[in-house]
Structure 1
């Protein structure tokens, strides 16, 4: 990826193998993109070694699909996979490899986002180290991470006041509660079950996208 890094804004759809069996995996991902997802993250918790061929095949296909829809493709928690397929973006947890080390490994061109959970301090540290966006949550009870502590919406407002980076909200977000998070300062809403758990994935994505109104991407 060259030139200016893409804007992190709008619907941020995250894949989930449990909700997206391989026969329909790509079709459901494309439905989310047709519905307006501006960011698509490949999140797969399968064995990194034993399932490496499948993971690389799926991630590579998603990268190409996102390019067709002018959407940002993100690999979750796997710098080696991101590097192998030339992914334009990587998302990591605050406990993962330090950002300076990732920059040495992957270079400056790749966009890197960092999960900061409920900590504005962690987000400030990530920003100082060169993160391209920060993510907070879980804001609501999450089917994908049922043990995740619930974070107050006030965290978004506090972060917005001191961090000049795109902010992603995640965790139990639906088309019914997402508007509150946008109003509090979220630039993007990340969703797993709210999109891929829906009977109509494209329709769900369109309803999420409508929450952003006429915001320019």
Structure 2
């Protein structure tokens, strides 16, 4: 299957893998369960695997995402994203910047940027050509417990100010996600509330709960 259209693609459930929750042989079954349950984007996030492992897994995940007409995003590594033909990359504030990522990936790929709860960072990212803005953490997170907290009113302001999709992240679960969607979030990014389940059937069920919120 060809890559999904990038037009209006940043919407719905955004699943993010985690090497502690989706290690080795669990990665592909867990990712497929999330996609089968309705995830529209999937981000490969793994800072501990070897380069060869990351390239192989990213290639496998890209193929899987395109079977489900979902976008495949690589975390923090524009070079890897380019190598495997990912649909885009998600970068933090210290990952080389949007211009460098754009030079590697071209105009047709998605670049998302972490903006925490800082509207000034969001404005900078929007001016620099980001395709979506990720804001959070909005709730306590076991994955990133020390990430700076963000306020719902900042999410609402960002959604009103920028003509870009805003992705809400940080401790999101099916019970608190409606607050973020009501504030204007185009998408919610989820790690623990999806991949904290060990059974793929439970991952699929959780994904369906999130997907019905949109």
Q: TM-score range by the shorter chain?
A: over 0.9
How far did 1:2 drift?
A: 9.5
Secondary structure of the residue aligned to 2:46 is: coil
Structure-2 separation of matches of 1:8 and 1:32: 16
TM-score by length of 2: 0.93
Please say if residues 41 and 74 of structure 1, whose CA atoms lie closer than 8 Å, have aligned partners that are also in contact: yes
SS at match of 2:115: strand
- Change in CA separation of 1:180 and 1:59 when aligned onto 2, cut-off 3 Å: same
Give the aligned partner of residue 194 of structure 2. Answer: 195
Q: Tell me the equivalent position of 2:116.
A: 117
User: What's 1:59 paired with?
Assistant: 58
What is aligned with 2:25?
A: 23
Residue number in structure 2 paired with 1:175: 174
Take 1:162 and 1:177, find their aligned partners in 2: how far apart are those partners?
23
In the aligned structure 2, how far is the partner of 1:2 from the partner of 1:12?
15
Q: Distance in 2 between matches of 1:162 and 1:54?
A: 40
After TM superposition, the score normalised by the length of structure 1 is 0.92
Contact 2:91-2:97 at 8 Å conserved across structures: no
What's the RMSD between the two structures over aligned residues? 1.5
Distance in 1 (alpha carbons) for counterparts of 2:42 and 2:58: 11
SS in 2 for 1:203: helix
Instruction: Identify the match of residue 33 of structure 1 among 32, 35, 41.
Output: 35
Native 8 Å contact 1:43 1:76 kept in 2: yes
Residue 89 of structure 2 is aligned to residue 106 of structure 1:
no
SS class of match (1:181):
helix
In 1, are the aligned partners of 2:155 and 2:184 still within 8 Å (CA)?
Answer: yes
2:187 paired with 1:185: no
**In structure 2, C-alpha distance between the alignment counterparts of 1:83 and 1:19, rounded to whole Å:** 25
Return structure 1 stretches of 4+ with deviation > 6 angstroms: none
- Tell me by how many angstroms 1:3 deviates: 7.1
Question: In structure 2, how many angstroms separate the alpha carbons of the residues matched to 1:177 and 1:76?
Answer: 24
The Cα shift of 1:194 comes to 0.7
Paired residues in the alignment total: 209
Unaligned runs of 5+ in 1: 213-217
Q: Please tell me whether the aligned partners of residues 15 and 196 of structure 1 are also in contact (alpha carbons under 8 angstroms).
A: yes
Deviation at 1:107, TM superposition (A): 1.5
Shift of 1:21: 2.2
Q: Encode CA deviations 1:73-112: one digit per residue, 9 max, x unaligned.
A: 0000011111111111100012321212222222112110
